[in-house]
Amino acid sequence: MNPIIAHIAKCGPVSVAEYMELALTHPEWGYYQKETVFGAGGDFITAPEISQIFGEMIGIWCADLWMKMDAPETFSLIELGPGRGTLMRDLLRATNHIKGFHEAAHIHLVEASRQLRIHQQQVIHHPHLATHTSVKTLPNAPSIIIANEFFDALPICQYIYRGEQWFEHRIESDGETLRWNKIPYTAMLTDWSEEIAPDTVVEQCIAAEAIIDTLGTLIREYGGGLLICDYGYEHGSNGDTLQAVKHHQYTDILDAPGSCDITAHVDFKRLQILSQKAGLKPSRIASQGDFLIRMGALERAERLTTGMNSDAKNTILNSLNRLVSPVHMGTLFKALACTHPLIEPAGF
């Protein structure tokens, strides 16, 4: 019997958030405990794995922010959900020429997966490297924080409005299979003040709210900023965005939990509001394509491809096109910076 089915049989129906947390991060059979989830041989591929230019542009963004912070002699360079460490590796290479940046940086990786923590330490070579399983253990220091495809994997709850009554989506089991159910929800969803049409699904990520609050305190008190890159939307509720991916194909969320990635689109407008409540200054919400181009991605591609043969040049240009083109990742993926009120971030 699948462990989640056994858990529900014993403890009763679970919320979508509880289901995601069990399926993704359980220490024994959670999805992110697998050795291979990223890349061509895994279930999905992220921007840093597509092109080195992504991590390089993030590196330039970090170096620019560090200088706008008056180049503190020591600061925390933090990545949330660093995956295989590719982004941080490219970031460090791109900033190797920035005088004092590497010497000042103390790298902190926040990663739930035991297997990925091991891999990251093999890929990222830096004298000051620490790993965490929660943002709560990050040190009090000036901080530059990167979150690429991190918020989409945080557990969400789903609610649906039927007439004058809210219901919560929950997952139950008959002892052999998983199935959806709806139960009346009596609490008020006060954060959705706009008029809700019948049968509208609203998603709420409590984990994101807690993380933004913690990081907001850190940045507000010690200086720095947070850069979020993810797929999502910016105009209120976007309905049911929950999805599961296995072997680069969409699959049923309830099919073989623990063997597929489960995510939901990120509500960027909500992150803007939360960061403002935490005392930070949110940027406008930019498309990923617009952000990377503003950071110099096209110029970097031109320099990289100088002198290359046509095949090598096309490989680099096609990879960058996947990141910035509206028909690929350029528009669906968004970028948002949340900084100390006295700092104006690059790229927006």
Tokens of 123: 């890929």
> Helix count (H) and strand count (E) of the chain?
12, 17
Tokens of 135: 């943002």
User: Above 80 in pLDDT, residue 42?
Assistant: no
The predicted-structure confidence for 147-190, as pLDDT tens digits, reads as follows 999 999 999 999 988 877 889 999 998 877 899 999 988 765 55
Asked if residues 68 and 340 have their Cβ atoms less than 8 Å apart, the reply is no
User: Above 80 in pLDDT, residue 37?
Assistant: no
- For the ranges 26-30, 145-149, 326-330, which has the lowest average pLDDT? 26-30
Q: What is the pLDDT of residue 246?
A: 85
Residue type, 57: M
Write b or e for each residue in 250-265: b if 16 or more Cβ atoms lie within 10 A of its Cβ, otherwise e.
ebebbeebbebbbbbb
Mean pLDDT of the chain: 91
- For the ranges 219-228, 242-251, 330-339, which has the lowest average pLDDT? 242-251
pLDDT average, residue stretch 11-28: 89
Q: What is the DSSP track for 270-325? A: HHHHHHHHTT-EE---EEHHHHHHHTTHHHHHHHHHTT--HHHHHHHHHHHHHHH-
pLDDT average, residue stretch 194-200: 73
Backbone CA torsion sign across 292, 296, 302, 306: negative
Tokens of 30: 């959670």
CATH code that applies to domain 3-155+203-339: 3.40.50.12710
The predicted-structure confidence for 226-281, as pLDDT tens digits, reads as follows 999 999 999 766 789 999 988 778 889 998 788 888 999 999 999 999 999 999 99
Task: Give the whole-angstrom CA distance, residue 22 versus residue 35.
Answer: 17
Q: What is the pLDDT of residue 189?
A: 59
Asked if residues 17 and 206 have their Cβ atoms less than 8 Å apart, the reply is yes
pLDDT average, residue stretch 83-94: 96
Domain boundaries of the chain, sorted by first residue: 3-155+203-339, 158-201
pTM of the model: 0.93
